[in-house]
Structure 1
């Protein structure tokens, strides 16, 4: 088992990575609410329930369908119906969407109760469960409502990855590959290796090392006042793709596409040409082809990206490998590179 410490703020916590963790969850709070997505395999639900003996278990819609104000309100009502007390706890088990929702419920119910996270997808482990960002979506964009609410502990049971469909596992690899691009280039080759699979050798270490990149950034910049924004490499276009397609493009695939677009922007502004890396990732990931969207379809959603400020949208760029920066990009460049991006996807057979 690997253990990664996450500092920053008043309450540091640990992320544990290894097989078999879901069957041994332990929290000090006597009353616990368990939140999980409806598509979580019954074996994992049963293990979590046996570990925690929750006073209430709430099943929510799968993936981003759970990240709505309506679902959020329903979960709050379920907790209130059983009188979960202020010294109780919320435990989120499932993918990144479910843990985002569960964390926001914990942050706001009774003005805040203890929160614990047990991500069961690769995407949830290497990204969503670490860092304390919680929230839900609005029709106008992704993650526009939420709070910083760090968990007390995170348990990443890598045994759950063996039950994921191959496409969902590859989807989650986008965030691990991104951590390689912005901080640890060795991760890129490990992600693209044939050994990177649920039953592959070294899976636990690759997952833990990807988590360690985010843990280090979060420790240094808990509330995204600087360096933490770099974790959003590729996400400006990604979130727009998710929003404009009503989440028909899943997050990890959208990030894969967004990284290639951001690499093109970086090159266009004089940076190192990293498009070979991002193209190789798309060839490995094999995402569903994108619809032929116009730049104008996506621009309003990019303008509402959380990295935007009063002067407009900003992008995370890579002038060089593992050297990210936050910069504004002229609209003429955004449009021109989007056309080039679409041409690249067409050559890869990823545009319909």
Structure 2
């Protein structure tokens, strides 16, 4: 009974937070002189009105699922991976590099090879903060934030030095490495939808299976729950900390490959972060760090971002207001968890 109560509570907190975030956004619109009913109608139509926007919505939330999984996986094992953005960037570059090689290779080999390269690059970028955490107890938040900036400038330097093509970008990858699909584009009125959404769903299944159906997942969760007890039980804590960051980085790297192999087919020199990795933190939080929750939260965030464009054109509401609504949703989620934690503390004191 207590388990069902916790699961119901875990489902209700994000749902109520979304409703409160939308209501707060409506109030802000009213005070700003906009019509919230017209704005939200336009937002809804901007997500579901035709096949094109539905295809763009799915395309938008595909990398968000994987970046959310990266954050959620680390969090489930007691770590806070703020470096998803950097791991995503190196994964993006690795996938594009492999996509530019091996001309004539069959797609059944080229695409998995490029995705695996992205996963390996993201995993490698996660090794450093994982090792520093395990060996020297350096907090992963500090190291992963620093690794983001290193990734941004290293990736730009590699493109400028070795892969630069006209337009401040790399060449377009070979068709054999592309996740883009003429069939998907035709049925979605030529949106940028690609087969990467299947990779994202498979990623969610892998995370769920790994954490909850394997001995390795049990050890990783045990270390995250209590390192001292895990060490006493004979679990190699240091190895599992590094492994957790490696797997989290791999998810982030694959998120980058969705942009490199699917949406764009190349990588441009970036003047700033993409924001996908940082949005993954919000997606993970709203999804309660569960695989299905991350998928649903990513769908919500992707829908809000695509629908915001229609909201701006129809109701003249700035797209920045959607960012405010998303921030409010996360605020209410965090507040709810804080209230529940505080309530549990009071209940325990009362029992004592």
Structure with larger Rg: 2
Whose strand proportion is higher, 1 or 2?
A: 1
Please state which band the TM-score falls in when normalised by the shorter chain.
under 0.3
**Greater RCO (CA < 8 Å, at least 6 residues apart):** 2
Whose helix proportion is higher, 1 or 2?
A: 2
Q: Normalising to structure 1: TM-score of the pair?
A: 0.27
